[in-house]
């Protein structure tokens, strides 16, 4: 593929992960003992003991950065999009799948796809890719900064203007958190892995609006989502509390065993450790081996 017209962002996937994590974990759910936290051995300082946790629900995220080609590019995937009658103007963003390393059990994409299928079957949790609809680091950082200022201003409780209520406030008087109203989270596309692959030489492409997603076999997909709405839909707020179906920590081993099967060596999940430590180990292996981040909606014991 010609790279003469390729637009490469000046930031890394790790920066994307840091920025999104700062927005997802900055909140603690008022009026309810809930929190959303990254859960791996390196984050053990946040929650490291079974005694404080009542129930959990996992989310697995692969952070990507968007690259781009302009509409006039001769890149094959631009030609593919046009053949599918997908818009490419003024430019098309995309990300590629990660190559498989010799020590890996499978492609990163297939691991994420397997996690998604198992969570869907269990009716608990989510697994997906997310990427910012930005190509410039300065613009991205500014958007995150402005999003924080607009969404977390301390005086929002005293403003009753419908404009502020509908477009900016994310914390309602019932305690519900409107993640879909956090501006920067709306600027991140969400794409659940939709099929198994036998090579990493595929990519997902989309417009700067996050619309018209294609997977380059090629095929067109109808699953347009943004990160804010995805998180809000997952939490299912009601009367200020998340109501998503969670699993009791003591009963969560069956789910952990199912998720880890064929993906992670059972030796990595020391059966002699406490349950939460085994979840921490699972999250650590996913991150170190595949750069898949494990987040957990946690309900604390009263």
Q: Domain ranges for the chain, please list them.
A: 13-35+55-115+125-246
CA-CA-CA-CA torsion sign (37, 246, 278, 118): negative
Tell me what pLDDT residue 202 has. Answer: 96
The whole-angstrom separation of Cα 182 and Cα 224 is 18
Tell me what pLDDT residue 6 has. Answer: 87
Q: Model's pTM, two decimal places?
A: 0.86
Give the tokens for residue 56: 């959990």
Tell me what pLDDT residue 160 has. Answer: 44
Beta strands 126-132; 188-191: pairing state? antiparallel
Q: Cα separations (Å) of 114 from 50, 69, 158, 203, 263? A: 27, 30, 46, 18, 8
Tell me what pLDDT residue 173 has. Answer: 61
Are 180 and 168 in contact, with CB atoms under 8 Å apart?
Answer: no
Tell me what pLDDT residue 175 has. Answer: 58
Tell me what pLDDT residue 32 has. Answer: 57
Give the tokens for residue 112: 């994420």
- CA-angle at 22, arms to 21 and 27, nearest 5°: 100
The whole-angstrom separation of Cα 156 and Cα 178 is 13
The segments of the chain whose pLDDT lies below 70 read 1-4, 26-33, 41-51, 144-176, 239-240, 267-272
Tell me what pLDDT residue 116 has. Answer: 97
The full 3-state SS of the chain, as one line of letters, equals CCCCCCECCCCCHHHHHHHHHHHHCCCEECCCCEEEEECCHHHCCCCCCHHHEEEEEEEEEEECCCEEEECCCCCHHHHHHHHCCCCCCCEEEEEECCCCCCCCCCCHHHHHHHHHHHHHHHCCCEEEEEEECCCCHHHHHHHHHHHHHHHCCHHHHHCCCHHHHHHCCCECCCCCECHHHCHHHHCEEEECCCCCCCCCCCEEEECCCCCCCEECCCEECCCCEEHHHHHHHHHCEECCEECCCCEEHHHCHHHHHHHHCCCCCHHHCCCCCCHHHHHHHHHHHHHHHHCCEEEEEEEECC
Are 184 and 19 in contact, with CB atoms under 8 Å apart?
Answer: yes
């Amino acid at each position: 593929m010609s790279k003469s017209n390729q637009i490469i962002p000046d930031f890394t996937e790790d920066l994307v992960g840091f920025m999104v994590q700062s927005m997802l974990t900055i909140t603690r759910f008022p009026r309810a003992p809930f929190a959303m936290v990254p859960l791996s051995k390196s984050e053990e300082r946040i929650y490291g003991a079974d005694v404080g946790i009542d129930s959990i629900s996992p989310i697995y995220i692969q952070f990507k950065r968007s690259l781009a080609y302009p509409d006039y590019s001769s890149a094959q995937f631009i030609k593919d999009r046009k053949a599918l009658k997908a818009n490419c103007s003024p430019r098309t963003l995309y990300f590629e799948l990660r190559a498989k390393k010799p020590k890996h059990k499978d492609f990163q994409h297939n691991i994420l796809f397997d996690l998604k299928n198992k969570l869907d079957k269990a009716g608990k949790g989510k697994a997906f890719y997310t990427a910012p609809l930005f190509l410039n680091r300065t613009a991205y950082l500014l958007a995150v900064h402005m999003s924080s200022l607009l969404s977390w201003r301390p005086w929002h409780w005293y403003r009753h203007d419908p404009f502020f209520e509908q477009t900016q406030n994310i914390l309602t008087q019932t305690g519900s958190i409107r993640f879909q109203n956090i501006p920067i989270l709306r600027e991140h596309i969400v794409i659940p892995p939709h099929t198994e692959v036998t090579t990493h030489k595929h990519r997902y492409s989309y417009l700067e609006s996050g619309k018209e997603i294609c997977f380059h076999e090629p095929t067109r997909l109808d699953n347009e989502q943004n990160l804010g709405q995805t998180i809000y839909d997952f939490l299912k707020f009601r009367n200020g509390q998340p109501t998503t179906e969670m699993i009791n920590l003591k009963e969560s081993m069956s789910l952990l065993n199912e998720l880890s099967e064929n993906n992670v060596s059972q030796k990595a999940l020391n059966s002699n450790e406490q349950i939460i430590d085994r979840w921490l180990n699972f999250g650590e292996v996913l991150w170190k081996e595949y750069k898949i981040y494990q987040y957990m909606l946690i309900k604390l014991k009263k």
